[in-house]
Chain A
Amino acid sequence: MIGHQAYLMLAAVIFGIGAAGILIRRNPLIMFMCIELMLNAVNLTFVAFSRALDDVGGQVVVFFVMVVAAAEIVVGLGIIVAIMRRRPGANADELSLMKG
């Protein structure tokens, strides 16, 4: 078995790519995908620590993260569809005003 440090490093790289993606891209859908990348990197970290510490708590937290991510995606995509219906072609920079 590979040591947990290798998994932590891989998760750090994926997290960094996701963070850079959020800063670079301005398409709301792609930004959501980058958030998923970061969540997955964190999940990988949780599982690696779970195995390193021989504790099932980390895996339970990953379960909760997946549920919260699913709920977040449902609401977020609903918001994106509602925005696109009213203002087609909007990107994240143009949506800085919190009014319709």
Chain B
Amino acid sequence: MLAAVSTVSIITFAIAGIICIGGALGVVFLSNPVHNALSLVATLFGVAVLFIAQGAYFLAAIQVIIYAGAIVVLFLFVIMLLGVDRITSMASERSPLTLAIGAVLGAGVTVGILTAILAGIDTPTGQRSVSGALDPANDLNVIGKALFTQYVFAFEITSLLLTIAVVGAVVLSRKAKGEPIDLDEFPQPELTAADMADDGLDLGPAPSAEVDQ
């Protein structure tokens, strides 16, 4: 078994693993939320590389598209919406005791799982699967077939879940008490031609107020 492991796959695993762990540590320990989000991208990308190394090409693609593309952009959008300074100031200092307890519990989780792995609890049973065998060269067909036959009910429930999530996001972001959005809440300063000229913008002569339709 060990002789079959090629050097390339070892190097790939090592680099992707270092990227994953480094990004995860960055998410936890960096203080600027934008840096946290970018570290999260590093971890997600490393996981995508590991998906490819295991032949899960379709999952690697949607990992990059959905996670690194959509979800992290959503994080960055909220960070920018709320303001980076405000978010950074919100990170309260923890007491050393709390930090120690958190680190110990996290390390305990890791050590526990590693012990279980090394103890051989994960040994495959040897039973044939009921969902169909893998075919990395034909990844999308195999996943699609399982998704729309055996797991079709779960797939339909997923569409319901997404609908509920969209409705929930709309309800949460509405103004309270159902009043309509007040556009005067976001006053727009009136720009004059002189202001634009100060900013280096030259839009030519101001349009006449009475334009023939």
Contacts and interface: CB of A to CB of B under 8 A. Distances in A.
A71 interface: yes
- The prevalent SS among residues of B at the interface is helix
B169 interface: yes
A78 to B, nearest CB: 4
Nearest to B28: A21
Interface string B95-114: 00011011101110111011
Interface residues of B, number: 87
A30 to B, nearest CB: 6
Interface in A36-91: 36-37, 40, 43-44, 47-57, 59-60, 62-64, 66-75, 77-82, 84, 88-91
A25 B101 CA distance: 12
B203 interface: no
A60 B147 contact: yes
8 contacts: A1-B4, A12-B114, A16-B106, A30-B91, A53-B129, A66-B63, A67-B158, A78-B172
A33 to B, nearest CB: 5
Contacts of B105: 19-20, 23
A34 B107 CA distance: 15
A9 B81 CA distance: 37
Interface in B30-59: 33, 36-37, 40, 43-44, 47, 50-51, 53-56, 58-59
A14 B91 contact: no
B90 A89 contact: yes
B5 interface: yes
A74 B24 contact: no
Given A8-B117, A59-B56, 11 more contacts: A10-B20, A23-B102, A23-B105, A25-B28, A26-B92, A26-B94, A57-B146, A60-B143, A66-B63, A68-B158, A69-B67
